[in-house]
Structure 1
């Protein structure tokens, strides 16, 4: 018998280059993560915020000069600047798509990212490529590092650095327009280093980030209007009278002509009705704001191809007679194409995987949660009506920060979930998931937050006189996890027993709701073997990382194998389901983590 002969297959240059770029990209992300503040430092920053916040913009201007960018350079970017509580990202996405379909080279900066940090900086609608991200990252970082000593060791934090990098990228890519989404607030946001935007917009306002912006709509509106600049036209979505008053006063101070956008149905368009690229009723408001922003941008650049606007309506808008309503206008086909083909993931997004349907929406304010509930009610009911058999509904929820959990959870009670899974906002430092590493909050803090959410859900269930079954997964911190064991910033811990244990002594005869903390992996015990062998392909990668959901779904997706059911401890109320609907909401970190697992775009 002839001896075995090893055959060496040469690695192509393309593959070698890809491996090298991926390695360099990972090094960039790890270096970027070093600019994050831990919980203790973040707390000190928060305590001194009132004193230091007015310095944020001046600080980033100094960092920009160290990178070689002057304010005059940034003035050349032809910026559309958008603030707001909810819908500002979608508005920016519509602006980008509309202008790209007009033939302009677009730059788009947004936050947070869903799966990879390079998603925050987009050119012509696409996330910055890994090789370009590497190039621009080190250009900016090395220049800051080289000048650190003579500047008292000053380096920008995570968001400030990415803001600098975005402006730097758009300048070097020579984009026709830079669409900039504000991070938090507006007045003191790092993006507000732009002096002369072409046009400004304010999307719908609500109560959020109260520790940074204040706990009243008036205080929040003051911050959001901080992006207004002298003589620069501005538009706002319809707001409550209190918010409109503050927006008007700040616009008047800057001699800024502020208008409220009209109803989306008032725009004239040829042919039949068309469907916006992003689902949800609120998107009509965001699309109207985007239409006004892009039309004004094209007018000021001398780039409109059809008749100009006829001016604002003479009448003042409801809520504030001194603010005029903007005029609607005919939509040419390229604009319609931009609206229809606009994509903005994890906003009213549906992904179907055979017997599973994921409803993804990063709602994190009361208004957006209410909109999310309306959307989920409508579409989940329509789907359920088309399915013959039992349909089970599961909630996967996460929130962080100082948000009022009770107010956010209450609307979700009306959805009639059969199970609820709550995940803390924890990520693990690993070379395989550096894009999702978050050092701002400790494990202990996030576990307490998660436990508070569970307790709140229980109290709401009781107050609504629902029949509930409250269970909690027994969890254990696992270090050194591999890529297959991780998701994004929504990770919890490994199941130590593989079984759900009773959280309290509620009447078992009156229970039908299942509430739990989720785990990021099942570990290496006998239950793990059950997981790996039995999960169907269509939801394997998702539920392995969320074993408590796996426990809830296994029986529904794998028939009536009693031994399998007993081994994996499937809650009785979901047994025999023919289809499972999972609403994932509460925060972009969570829905982004799920998207990265279940979407074919991230395979």
Structure 2
């Protein structure tokens, strides 16, 4: 309890007899307030303790590196282990079958598709449960009941219910405890059973065949969203291998739907459906559902959302038909799409309740816009080539529309990070077309000195994250100089965009590299390009580290932005403050955490941030700043936790 309230209550207690007419109202006013505040503080503390305990189930970076070699051998054990852990918690497979699961895998749009499913069924009057990953700001967001994240109080209750049961049976089970995501999956099934939801909408974590969510034997319906190249070190380095993994959620006799796929992926999905004994159809074009005069705007922005919404419509309609609450009203007859025997699913007419479910669907961090005074954040957690391209289309359309409505100078800033084995050159190249005035790079670390347990990531070291971030900036530097010199972006190889010590290879047309090997440095090709273009490029680079406690932002504003001169060809050491040039048209700069990056990118336009000094002149003179945050959903979550009023 805050000390001033404690003092006031002590004073009131001592003087209640001396001046009861004055003190009695004070006691009546502040005692309930203090009690309520104490309960809230106690609840928050208990929640933080839970999350810290949960984080002990994360494997650290060294352990993960050791297990990479045995990953393929261990993968088939994931689901059997989940069954054993569920049994120790008191959950049987029959219990999970009673949840009436909608199970969704895919590369892009899994979360959006599940969000549409949840909103549609909730608007139809069903009590919904929705398990998603990853979370943006707080881990409890992964569990939604009736469209609302699980409260901190309920999270604490359900967490200890599962954790204590597993801990109590650990000794007789070879000290076996589930890892982080597996534990959360068990917790999700337990929550939805205890909350007695009508439906459980389950988003796959990674892959499908060996995913922790795949212990469900009899889902009501399964869906596969758009497929692409992602998590290649785990799922395989071809689209066929990835499709094989994603189709692992298919079950005998359970209807399945897929978004339109490339022929290679669709062929594998069809083969797996036949192997599993299930009927597979392709979700139709979204326009086939609409009747004249019934146009409406989906709740999630972006043209790809029509693809996700169509899949969700098929999944929810099939689910409702199996519950005996829906008649089969058909508009279009099934049509063969030319890929084997897979047909296009039937479309159907909308009613107002269905439209409300689509229109009122919300999914934070995907094509999301946050408007503030002379500042707009554009947030999209795109992290594959296809999703980055969609993000570029969305950002260009909406940022131009906004800029056209503003009288004065508008500048565009990119805030970017990517993780894992993703090809950063491939992801950054489409973003060059946006015409950014500056680019900011930082790891998925919210603050340099303190951080919420919810966003603690022990699976990768902070050093590795900073090295990856430096590599991202160096890649952007080369792409920028190449575009300026040649008028177009040259083909940049991995060897160009990372040091000679960073191993990379090309397998089946997919770049792969080991994150731990991505170190700072400038290759000979980079140096020659940078030296040749430095005087004429109007590009400036630097690394800035405010090195400050964010509990005292005012002091950091005065003292943290120390600087020294830097040239284009300087080696940018992490942790070394650098001053940006003042005669440059474009900038790219590297920061140690999200908060510092936002200070630079927003230039104090955000009330949740403070105004740093020594910023480029053109940012000082801008009437409006547009900041695109993309490349990693974890980066987007970190930004939301800092700038969104919902979390502050």
Deviation at 1:164, TM superposition (A): 0.4
Q: Would you say 1:122 and 2:144 are equivalent positions?
A: yes
Instruction: Please point out which of 138, 146, 149 is paired with 2:168.
Output: 146
Residue in 2 aligned with 1:488? none
Q: Would you say 1:169 and 2:188 are equivalent positions?
A: no
The separation in 2 between residues aligned to 1:18 and 1:44, in whole angstroms, is: 42
Deviation at 1:23, TM superposition (A): 1.1
Residue in 1 aligned with 2:437? 418
Moved more, 7-16 or 163-172: 7-16
Deviation at 1:19, TM superposition (A): 1.6
Deviation digits for residues 490-511 of structure 1 (CA, Å, limit 9, x no counterpart):
xxxx9572567445269x8995
Instruction: Please point out which of 68, 77, 82 is paired with 1:55.
Output: 77
Q: Would you say 1:471 and 2:541 are equivalent positions?
A: yes
Residue in 2 aligned with 1:7? 8
Residue in 2 aligned with 1:68? 90
The separation in 2 between residues aligned to 1:97 and 1:406, in whole angstroms, is: 37
C-alpha distance 393-327 of structure 1, shift in aligned 2 (>3 A): same
C-alpha distance 101-430 of structure 1, shift in aligned 2 (>3 A): farther
Instruction: Please point out which of 198, 202, 216 is paired with 1:180.
Output: 202
C-alpha distance 333-106 of structure 1, shift in aligned 2 (>3 A): same
Deviation digits for residues 57-80 of structure 1 (CA, Å, limit 9, x no counterpart):
111111111101111111110000
Deviation at 1:477, TM superposition (A): 6.3
SS in 2 for 1:497: coil
- The question of whether the paired residues in 1 share the 8 Å contact of 2:334 and 2:345 is answered with no
Residue in 2 aligned with 1:247? 269
C-alpha distance 379-315 of structure 1, shift in aligned 2 (>3 A): same
Deviation digits for residues 541-571 of structure 1 (CA, Å, limit 9, x no counterpart):
x6x6733335xx25x899xxxxx99x92221
User: 5 Å matches for 1:20-169?
Assistant: 20-169=42-191
C-alpha distance 311-144 of structure 1, shift in aligned 2 (>3 A): farther
Residue in 2 aligned with 1:308? 328
Deviation digits for residues 1-45 of structure 1 (CA, Å, limit 9, x no counterpart):
xxxx96334344322222221111111000001111110111122
- The question of whether the paired residues in 2 share the 8 Å contact of 1:433 and 1:483 is answered with no
Instruction: Please point out which of 555, 562, 571 is paired with 2:616.
Output: 571
Residue in 2 aligned with 1:600? 645
Residue in 1 aligned with 2:600? 548
- The question of whether the paired residues in 1 share the 8 Å contact of 2:448 and 2:547 is answered with no
Instruction: Please point out which of 396, 420, 423 is paired with 1:404.
Output: 423
- The question of whether the paired residues in 1 share the 8 Å contact of 2:107 and 2:230 is answered with yes
Residue in 2 aligned with 1:387? 406
Moved more, 509-518 or 452-461: 509-518
Deviation digits for residues 91-126 of structure 1 (CA, Å, limit 9, x no counterpart):
000000000000000000000000100000110000
C-alpha distance 24-482 of structure 1, shift in aligned 2 (>3 A): farther
Instruction: Please point out which of 424, 434, 449 is paired with 2:453.
Output: 434
SS in 1 for 2:440: strand
Instruction: Please point out which of 591, 594, 597 is paired with 1:518.
Output: 591
Residue in 1 aligned with 2:494? none
The separation in 2 between residues aligned to 1:438 and 1:510, in whole angstroms, is: 39
SS in 2 for 1:388: coil
- The question of whether the paired residues in 1 share the 8 Å contact of 2:582 and 2:616 is answered with no
- The question of whether the paired residues in 1 share the 8 Å contact of 2:299 and 2:360 is answered with yes
- The question of whether the paired residues in 1 share the 8 Å contact of 2:254 and 2:279 is answered with yes
Deviation digits for residues 559-590 of structure 1 (CA, Å, limit 9, x no counterpart):
xxxxx99x922213334110000000011111
Residue in 1 aligned with 2:367? 348
- The question of whether the paired residues in 1 share the 8 Å contact of 2:365 and 2:379 is answered with yes
Instruction: Please point out which of 191, 194, 197 is paired with 2:219.
Output: 197
The separation in 2 between residues aligned to 1:441 and 1:509, in whole angstroms, is: 36
Instruction: Please point out which of 487, 497, 515 is paired with 2:562.
Output: 497
- The question of whether the paired residues in 2 share the 8 Å contact of 1:26 and 1:431 is answered with no
The separation in 2 between residues aligned to 1:429 and 1:417, in whole angstroms, is: 26
- The question of whether the paired residues in 1 share the 8 Å contact of 2:135 and 2:142 is answered with yes
Deviation at 1:513, TM superposition (A): 1.5
Deviation digits for residues 142-169 of structure 1 (CA, Å, limit 9, x no counterpart):
0000011111111111111000000000
SS in 2 for 1:410: helix
Residue in 1 aligned with 2:511? none
The separation in 2 between residues aligned to 1:484 and 1:404, in whole angstroms, is: 37
- The question of whether the paired residues in 2 share the 8 Å contact of 1:427 and 1:437 is answered with no
SS in 1 for 2:102: strand
TM-score, length-scaled by structure 2: 0.82
- The question of whether the paired residues in 1 share the 8 Å contact of 2:250 and 2:273 is answered with yes
The separation in 2 between residues aligned to 1:547 and 1:580, in whole angstroms, is: 12
Question: What is the root-mean-square deviation in Å for CA atoms of aligned residues?
Answer: 2.6
Deviation at 1:201, TM superposition (A): 0.2
Deviation digits for residues 230-277 of structure 1 (CA, Å, limit 9, x no counterpart):
010000000000000000000011111100011101104574311000
SS in 2 for 1:582: strand
Q: Would you say 1:591 and 2:610 are equivalent positions?
A: no
Deviation at 1:482, TM superposition (A): 5.4
Aligned residues: 556
The separation in 2 between residues aligned to 1:462 and 1:294, in whole angstroms, is: 49
C-alpha distance 48-577 of structure 1, shift in aligned 2 (>3 A): same
The separation in 2 between residues aligned to 1:113 and 1:289, in whole angstroms, is: 23
SS in 1 for 2:125: coil
The separation in 2 between residues aligned to 1:194 and 1:265, in whole angstroms, is: 33
Deviation at 1:602, TM superposition (A): 1.2
The separation in 1 between residues aligned to 2:544 and 2:367, in whole angstroms, is: 32
Residue in 1 aligned with 2:357? 338
Deviation at 1:280, TM superposition (A): 0.2
- The question of whether the paired residues in 2 share the 8 Å contact of 1:81 and 1:197 is answered with yes
Unaligned runs of 5+ in 2: 1-5, 10-29, 486-536, 554-558, 572-580
SS in 2 for 1:266: helix
